[in-house]
Amino acid sequence: MKAFWTVIFLLALPAWADSIEPLSGWAVYPSDKSYDELVGDTKAAVKENGLIVVTQAGPTKAAAARGITIPGNLVIGAFNNDYAVRVLETSVNAMIEAPIRFYVTENENGTATLSYKTPSFVFAPYSDEGGERLREIAVELDAKFQAVAESAVK
């Protein structure tokens, strides 16, 4: 029974980003920046690289409003109309993946990490339908997302 409660206690601890292993298809950029700083710099880098912040969602502020403190956690969806039109020309189904998301997570030591699924990975399931043109768009977006991430964490 003691082992049961130990497991329950450990599951209740905050999930810090630095405890997560990188997954296949993900790009992970640790930084020395605080969570708030990295969120702001990511949004600025999205704009600087010709994309638009289309969505943003995270549980941190809502949890705080309920009296619960959790590590900073925000998903930022980025895309633009040019890419939307071009993707739709290749695959209507692939547009379910837009906007492609950046993920900013707070680390236990006060720094933050920026990560994302690479656009090539995100659009890979639609390559039969979208063909070479969709793969080319995904490679363009890979470069854009990398530029955003590198700019945001520097």
> What confidence tens digit (pLDDT) does each residue in 83-123 have?
999 999 999 999 999 999 999 999 999 999 999 999 999 99
Tell me the β-bridge partners of 100. Answer: 78
Q: 39-86, pLDDT tens digit by residue?
A: 999 999 999 999 999 999 999 999 999 999 999 999 999 999 999 999
Taking alpha carbons only, the member of 101, 131, 105 closest to residue 119 is 101
- pLDDT value of position 93: 98
pLDDT of residue 130 exceeding 60, the answer is yes
CATH architecture of 33-153: 2-Layer Sandwich (3.30)
Mean predicted confidence (pLDDT) in 116-137: 98
List the chain domain ranges.
33-153
